Amino acid sequence: MKTARNPETIHPPVGSYVHQMEVTGPTRWLTLSGQIGMTLDGSVPEEPLEQLELALDNIKRNLEAADMGIQDLTKLVFYLAGEFDTDKRRKIVKDFLGDHIPCTTLLYVVALAAPTLKVEIDAWACQEID
């Protein structure tokens, strides 16, 4: 079972995330390599927000391939290089997550694996086993 918590002894979350996610009982875990904003044909859009949308879509496709969904995400780590409109970035992530709120970390980095890449996202998902 996944239990999300925001302890009253620390500040409330400042975005769409929870401070902790406890997992108990029999589960199956899925750990993804960093997902980038690249299409199936290998192209990478220049616009960083388009890369963000693609990286999130690649996470969704990975989850689907493992018979999981957005609701199974427990943690996302965002690595961003360059300038991003904060409000637009937050809306894209909120639209992707819907009502689900996992733990998240956001880091701005100098560069990623290639100069064209502006987004990479690590993801962890967990599903209860019946």
- Note whether residue 9 is domain-resident: no
If DSSP codes are grouped into helix, strand and coil, which group holds residue 49?
Answer: helix
* 11 occurs within a structural domain: no
pTM: 0.93
Asked if residue 17 belongs to a domain, the reply is no
Helix (H) or strand (E) holding 114: none
**Is 83 among the domain residues?**
yes
Q: Which residue has the tokens 């965002």?
A: 78
Assigned domain for 4 exists: no
Number of domains in the chain: 1
pLDDT band at 130 (very low <50, low <70, confident <90, very high): confident
pLDDT tens sequence across 99-121: 999 999 999 999 999 999 999 99
Residue 48 token pair: 């960083």
Burial 52-86 (b: 16+ CB within 10 A, else e): bbbbbebbbebbeeeebebebbbbbebbbbeebee
Q: What is the CATH classification number for the domain harbouring 102?
A: 3.30.1330.40
Radius of gyration for the chain, computed over Cα atoms and rounded to the nearest angstrom: 15
117 assigned to some structural domain: yes
The dihedral sign for the CA sequence 104, 93, 42, 61? positive
Give the tens place of pLDDT for each residue, 8-65: 999 999 888 899 999 999 999 999 999 999 999 999 999 999 999 999 999 999 999 9
CA atoms within 13 A on the CB side of 59: 32
Q: Contact, 123 vs 62, CB < 8 A?
A: yes
- The pLDDT value recorded for residue 69 is 98
In a domain, 10, yes or no: no
82 within a domain of the structure (yes/no): yes
Domain enclosing residue 80, as ranges: 30-125
The pLDDT value recorded for residue 46 is 97
